[in-house]
Amino acid sequence: MKVQILDKNDVSVRLLIEGSNAAFMNALRRIIISEVPTMAVDDVVIIENSSALQDEFLAHRIGLMPLKTDLDTYNLPENCACKSEFGCNLCRASLILDVEAENHTITTYSGDFKSENPSITPVSEKIPLAKLAPSQKIRLEAYARLGKGKEHARWQPVSMCAYKYMPIITVNTKLCDLCGDCIKMCPRNILVKKGEKLEVRNTTDCTICQDCVDACQKTPKAIEVKWDENTFIFRLESTGALTPKRIVSEALNILDEKLTDLQSQLKGK
């Protein structure tokens, strides 16, 4: 297997993976979505809420806000040594929100949370949680814990994780008369007329929609779009809770654990 990073930034990455198969890519994708743990608020104790929003509405918003996750210090509650329903310092982090609008209307943001552990803070400080009119107050304590995407979407580390086959576009120069129909049809602007030739650029952007093939009026078709079943373009966009690199490596560790477990159980029988 050969992996190449096509492009990346703080939250997303695009990988070109050669010599793999759809089964493995799908296993990786599904593990990232449903098994990689992240931190999110699970329980909210509302002490006072005189805002226009109901308690459950507010708690739901707080739950959805992604938190920077420290996987090395925190344990999943089911794996934590404390075995306590209420959690301990190793499986739970508390955040406090105490805001009051005094003379004019204010907006409460995720950044107003005071965290017990400074490394567990909201990914974005500008998510509006509620708007408070003068004299309205919100006082609450939120408990964050590690969880998995299969339990609730708020624990999903990614907002997008997908793969596709690597497209192979071939132009038969003997048949092509450069009519330009396929260039106009392409939604991703992959085909360009360069001199007396039809050129293909940014092949990785191709969605294999076959519109260019349908647009070609030649018989047989002068353009052909196929795909390599062993080469994939894997895209991933993190919510910011974990880095894309950590998400992939964590997913691979989980897959490895599952396979080792299966193997040891088979040997035991």
Partner 1 sequence: MIVPVRCFTCGKVIGDKWENFATRVKEGEDAGRVLDDLGVERYCCRRMLLSHIEIIDEIIKFYEARETKQMKPS
In this complex, which beta carbon is closest to partner 1, that of residue 145 or of residue 235? Answer: 235
Nearest alpha carbon to residue 248 among 78, 22, 15 = 15
> Phi/psi at 204 (nearest 5 deg)?
-65, -20
In this complex, which beta carbon is closest to partner 1, that of residue 216 or of residue 234? Answer: 234
In this complex, which beta carbon is closest to partner 1, that of residue 115 or of residue 172? Answer: 115
List, in order, residues 6 or more apart from 71 with CB less than 8 Å away.
37, 146, 242, 246, 250
Q: How far is the CB of 134 from partner 1 (least distance, A)?
A: 4
Instruction: Please report the sign of the dihedral spanned by the C-alpha atoms of residue 254, residue 256, residue 259, residue 265.
Output: negative
Q: How far is the CB of 60 from partner 1 (least distance, A)?
A: 8
Q: How far is the CB of 253 from partner 1 (least distance, A)?
A: 23
Amino acid at 211: D
Return residues touching partner 1 (CB under 8 A): 52-53, 57, 61, 64-66, 105, 110, 123-128, 130-131, 133-136, 153, 156, 159-160, 237, 239-240
In this complex, which beta carbon is closest to partner 1, that of residue 94 or of residue 156? Answer: 156
Q: How far is the CB of 157 from partner 1 (least distance, A)?
A: 10
Secondary structure class of 70 (helix, strand, coil): coil
Q: How far is CA 111 from CA 82, 95, 121, 166, 248, in A?
A: 30, 11, 8, 42, 28
In this complex, which beta carbon is closest to partner 1, that of residue 26 or of residue 105? Answer: 105
> Phi/psi at 7 (nearest 5 deg)?
-160, 155
In this complex, which beta carbon is closest to partner 1, that of residue 134 or of residue 187? Answer: 134
Residue carrying the six token digits 């030739």: 197
Q: How far is the CB of 225 from partner 1 (least distance, A)?
A: 24
Q: How far is the CB of 202 from partner 1 (least distance, A)?
A: 16
